[in-house]
């Protein structure tokens, strides 16, 4: 029977992680379980950095970005020695099960803990990239899109005022989700994502054609994994001769107060993660599908999400209305 649950956040932080921690702690209280917070993800597990979490410790955090537990990317956890240290800390603190909040690297760590070391684990998807299987959307993606969109809208103001091409680089090393959503919501003229091949000559041809019809400004959204915005901008200037500027949005996309959507999603998924563990389930990732909370085997959840259909659909939609 589970008496004490550990919770940690790992990998890149995502807005809404705090709301998920809060939900986990409060659901544990509801079931009369203790909650131990582990600081700095798997690194904190290895180095035994824990903190007892009460209802009070998570008050006033639902609206805060980042994670009160802090987070890290931890190479040592990939080694057997690192995992053994983590397992020892779990045993020492009498932690019966873990709720692990993060992205695909985090999921892979949880699989190790569960299958190799017998620690019951349930994962909660939190990454701005929205690239995990087993959920329609991950915690943090909605906030990141809104942050990037707000910035893009502002860039549009100066682009139209000064008749310029702007290349806006958003996050997403392997995922074009943020780029595609921002392009659509921001009325961008073009979007480059890692999941889709692009032809710069074609794009410049479209820009020139637009210019000949009297168009005077363009917003090109580039996912960081598709290309570097500066390279694209150089090419555009070289081919079209138009005045081109670059904006790399960077880590502002990971910060800030989570949207209502992310807070509610995090709250629902936090409850489900604890309920699964209480009911003796493990090796799962919780998620949301068609509006309902679901759970998926971690091996399936960790597989790269096939975004091809979505990307094709959204790209066509964007071009049709440009």
What does the binding site for ligand F6P look like in residue numbers (CB under 6 A)? 12, 73, 103, 127-129, 171-173, 224, 254
| Nearest of 114, 144, 111 to residue 126 by alpha carbon | 144
Task: Round to whole Å and give the CA distance between 322 and 105.
Answer: 37
Told to judge if 129 belongs to the known catalytic residues of this protein, a careful annotator would answer yes
> What is the SS3 assignment for 141?
helix
210 or 225: CB nearest ligand F6P: 225
Q: Closest CB to ligand F6P among 37 and 194?
A: 194
- Distance (Å, whole) CA 137 – CA 121: 21
Q: In angstroms, what is the minimal distance from the CB of 224 to ligand F6P?
A: 6
- Catalytic residue (choose from 104, 129, 142, 262): 129
Taking the complex as a whole, how short is the minimal distance between the CB of residue 118 and ligand F6P, in angstroms? 29
When the beta carbons of 12 and 82 are compared against ligand F6P, the nearer one is 12
- In the chain, helix, strand, coil percent, each to 5? 45, 20, 35
Minimum CB separation from ligand F6P for residue 133, in Å? Answer: 15
DSSP H stretches of helix in the chain: 17-30, 41-46, 80-92, 104-115, 141-162, 177-185, 200-212, 229-240, 260-278, 298-301, 308-321
Min dist CB 131 to ligand F6P, Å, is 8
Q: Residue 128 or residue 155: which is nearer to ligand F6P going by CB?
A: 128
- Active-site residue set: 129
């Amino acid at each position: 029977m589970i008496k004490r649950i550990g919770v940690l956040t790992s990998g890149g932080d995502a807005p809404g992680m705090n709301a998920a921690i809060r939900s986990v702690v409060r659901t544990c209280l509801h079931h009369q379980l203790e909650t131990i917070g582990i600081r700095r993800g798997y690194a904190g597990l290895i180095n035994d950095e824990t903190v007892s979490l009460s209802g009070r410790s998570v008050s006033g955090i639902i609206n805060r970005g980042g994670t009160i537990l802090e987070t890290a990317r931890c190479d040592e956890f990939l080694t057997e020695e690192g995992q053994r240290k983590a397992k020892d800390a779990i045993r020492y603190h009498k932690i019966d099960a873990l709720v692990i909040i993060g992205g695909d690297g985090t999921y892979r760590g949880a699989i190790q803990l569960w299958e190799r070391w017998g620690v019951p684990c349930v994962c909660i998807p939190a990454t701005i990239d929205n690239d995990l299987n087993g959920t329609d959307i991950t915690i943090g993606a909605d906030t990141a899109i809104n942050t990037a969109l707000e910035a893009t809208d502002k860039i549009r103001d100066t682009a139209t005022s000064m008749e310029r091409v702007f290349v806006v680089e958003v996050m997403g090393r392997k995922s074009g989700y943020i780029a595609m959503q921002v392009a659509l919501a921001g009325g961008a003229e073009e979007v480059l994502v890692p999941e889709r091949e692009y032809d710069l000559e074609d794009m410049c041809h479209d820009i020139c054609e637009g210019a000949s019809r009297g168009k005077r400004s363009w917003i090109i959204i580039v996912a960081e994994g598709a290309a570097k915005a500066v390279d694209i901008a150089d090419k555009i200037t070289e081919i079209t001769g138009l005045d081109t500027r670059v904006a790399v949005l960077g880590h502002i996309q990971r910060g800030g107060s989570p949207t209502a959507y992310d807070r509610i999603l995090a709250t629902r998924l936090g409850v489900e993660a604890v309920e699964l563990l209480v009911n003796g389930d493990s090796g799962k990732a919780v998620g949301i599908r068609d509006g309902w909370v679901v759970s998926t085997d971690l091996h399936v959840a960790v597989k790269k999400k096939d975004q091809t259909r979505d990307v094709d659909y959204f790209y066509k939609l964007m071009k049709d209305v440009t």
